[in-house]
Chain A
Amino acid sequence: MANSLALTRLQEEHRQFRKDHPHGFFARPFDEDGKRNYFKWRCGIPGKKGTEWEDGTFHLILEFSEDYPTKPPICKFDPPLFHPNIFPSGTVCLSLLDPSKDWKPSVTIKSILFAIQELLGSPNLDDPAQAEPYRLMKESPEEYRKTVREIVRKGFTRS
């Protein structure tokens, strides 16, 4: 049976998110046969204005274990994104999501999504997770941005 601490926290996170979230972001537990699965969420992050990700909305799946919030959720873009710090599987590589680095149980889902939005526009080349965007960003940031804009325009905007 689910750890009640994790479940209570996740239910509260959902309630708070519905009441107070930045426009365009969403976070909702999966609906499984009319029942909410609070351990698996679908979230959406709008690309930040002024970055190559603007005008897109990017979906993520967050998976929580019963050790949450001691342990962070696994955050995976679905579909995966072309970005130096996102693994080809879509999993996000971010110190905030690493329990041996910056993760703290007090980090809310809202702040995770904000941090990931920030990461999209500010890749960290010291910690690459995907070869091609890393190479392109390193060799030609301009070409990288152009490629991302094209990907966003083609697959992540509502026409």
Chain B
Amino acid sequence: MMEGLKAEPSTAMSGSLEPSDESKLQITVRDGEGGQMTFRVRKSTKLKKLMSNYCEKQGVAYGTYRFTLDGKRINENDTAETLQMEDGDCIDAFLYQQGGARCESE
């Protein structure tokens, strides 16, 4: 009935060999060009860290991308916990200059 979660190759799984840590989630960031990067984040860590790591790995300045979950912009102080994220959730990254990514800031 529902499509299962596909096993995706990830590019940033440095933490994957650590013993499994219940409080860490695997979160994938996808851009509009088909690229994706997976991060392991603690539930309580501010997502600013993930967002700045992503920009760094892309070789661009922090602030070049906008990140959304459920169509809402992720703020620097949000954490996986406050956004009720689960293991395997996906975040969308949008280049700022790209049009067509209207999302409200509720």
Contact = CB atoms under 8 A, between A and B. Distances in A.
A130 B103 CA distance: 27
A24 interface: yes
B86 A158 contact: no
A56 interface: yes
Contacts of B100: 24, 46-47, 54-57, 157-158
A90 to B, nearest CB: 16
Sorting the interface of chain B by its residue count into under 10, 10 to 19, 20 to 34 or 35 or more gives 20 to 34
B60 interface: no
Determine the main DSSP class of B at the interface with A: loop
Nearest to A28: B70
Nearest to B86: A15
Given A24-B32, A26-B68, A26-B71, A18 B102 contact: no
Interface in B60-100: 68-72, 85-86, 88-90, 92, 94, 99-100
Contacts of B71: 26-28, 42-44
Nearest to B83: A18
Contact of A19 (B32, B90, B94): B90
A20 B6 contact: yes
Given A12-B2, A20-B6, A57 B89 contact: no
Given A56-B100, A57-B101, A16 B3 contact: yes
Contacts of A106: 1
Given A12-B2, A55-B99, 15 more contacts: A16-B3, A19-B88, A19-B89, A21-B90, A23-B31, A26-B68, A26-B72, A26-B92, A28-B70, A28-B72, A42-B71, A57-B103, A106-B1, A156-B102, A158-B100
Interface of B: 1-3, 5-6, 30-32, 68-72, 85-86, 88-90, 92, 94, 99-103
